[in-house]
Amino acid sequence: MSEGFKLEIVNPESSFLSKEGVSEVVVPAFEGDMGILKDHISIISFLKPGLVRIFEGSNEETYYVDDGIVEFKNNCLSILTSNIFDIKKMDKNVARNVLAKAEQDTQKNDISDQAKYLLDQKIEVLKNLTLN
């Protein structure tokens, strides 16, 4: 019997990541950070801007996502996202540019409450990433 579960992350360009034997994944769901372990109940949820943390034993990988959908079913976790990047390989200048654009977008007069909320989440996460 397998110790973990299968993880697949897909973005518009390609299948970004596929792993077997993952022990835990923490995703930034709208309801709050959600930890997923083997044999978790089936779920479908939306992602907000934040960090996806993947654990395989004592190894941890961290990725930034802008948005997306997460589905867990039959010990297979699928994450569909429009934008994802590895924190360890992140170009801080690119992150700063994305942060600056997000801050500009919050100043628009015609912005909806939902768009403002998502931009605020994005700004908070990106500020933490660029300051470290």
- 19/44 same-domain check: yes
Q: What is the CATH number of the domain that holds 74?
A: 2.60.15.10
- 81/119 same-domain check: no
Angle CA(37)–CA(40)–CA(45) in degrees, nearest 5? 100
Mean pLDDT for all residues in the chain: 91
- 95/82 same-domain check: no
- 11/70 same-domain check: yes
Q: Tell me if 70 sits within 8 A of 48, measured CB to CB.
A: no
> For the chain, what is the domain count?
2
What is the rounded CA–CA span in Å between residue 98 and residue 5?
33
Residue 99 structural domain: 90-131
pTM attached to this predicted model: 0.87
pLDDT tens, residue by residue, 58-80? 899 999 998 999 999 999 999 99
Q: Tell me if 67 sits within 8 A of 82, measured CB to CB.
A: yes
Q: pLDDT category, 14, cuts 50, 70, 90? A: confident
Q: pLDDT category, 27, cuts 50, 70, 90? A: very high
- 110/78 same-domain check: no
